[in-house]
Amino acid sequence: MNWRAAFWSLALAGLWLAPSAHAQPAGLRDLNPAVRKAAANEAARTSNREAIPQLIALLGDQHADVRLAAVNALAALGAKSASRPMLVLAQSDRDAKVRQAAARAAKILDQRGFVAKLATADRPPVIRLKKAPESQRLWRVDRAVLVSSALAINARRADESLVGAVGAGLRWPRAEFQVNLTFPAVSLFGQVRLNLLKKIAVVPYLTWGFAIAFNNGEDRANGPSAAFFAGLGVRIQPAARFYFYTEAAANWVISQPAAPTLDSAVKPKALPKMTVPVIAGLGVEFWP
């Protein structure tokens, strides 16, 4: 082998081993953000498509200037593989300039796809809303203990005095059970309320129950009597724990004491066979 053949062999070997002009720029991995930004701009200027994978990685860089340079470089290079990461960046980046540039780049890189149809340039970052804490919900749990107080009057005899009532009970998702004590006309009654709607602020309900009256609120008490009632009511719950309710019912007296004898000095007053009590009250819920 003469010297000319050796020279050309070494020259060809050097060209073979020399780095490609379009290899990934080392600056894209540099620790200095200014160097990474300059390397991204250089990749765009030299149309270096070998840098596309690293430029896509720079879309998650912590510096906004570097992300913006990577977005512009990928758009200039026509990197269609970056269209979906661009869409994510256009919707979620913290910097408005980066979001707008990413939206423009997404449209350039995928002009016929779904990305081009989305106008996301001016949208703020996507924020996932958390559900309200359980303590702030109107109906926190399916079961609760109820305590209430109310006033009642007989709609058929409005001139009678008001009757007060206090009660306690339990609530389920669709029904309630409550025991009430009234005064000064002393009576004890239990009632069931069946909600016609569920988990809203205003709930109409059906109610029925059984009552035992010990006197009629007058001096001439007529002794214990029993009654059955049924009616319709509305429950209004403006806050998580407090509610208002009003109801009207038909009350049928089904048993009374025996009639007094003729020689009795006190003649008890008989209760009417039917009354229409109207009740309005306030309640409080206690959750377990």
pLDDT mean across residues, the chain: 77
* CA-wise closest residue to 179 among 161, 197, 192, 194: 192
With a threshold of 0.75, does the pTM exceed it?
Answer: no
Residue 172 has pLDDT above 60, yes or no: yes
Domains of the chain: 24-117 (1.25.10.10), 139-286 (2.40.160.20)
Residues 6+ apart with CB under 8 A from 207: 191, 192, 193, 194, 229, 230, 231, 232, 233, 247, 249
Q: If pLDDT is split at 50, 70 and 90, which confidence band does 45 have? A: confident
Q: Given this model, what pLDDT does residue 124 score? A: 47
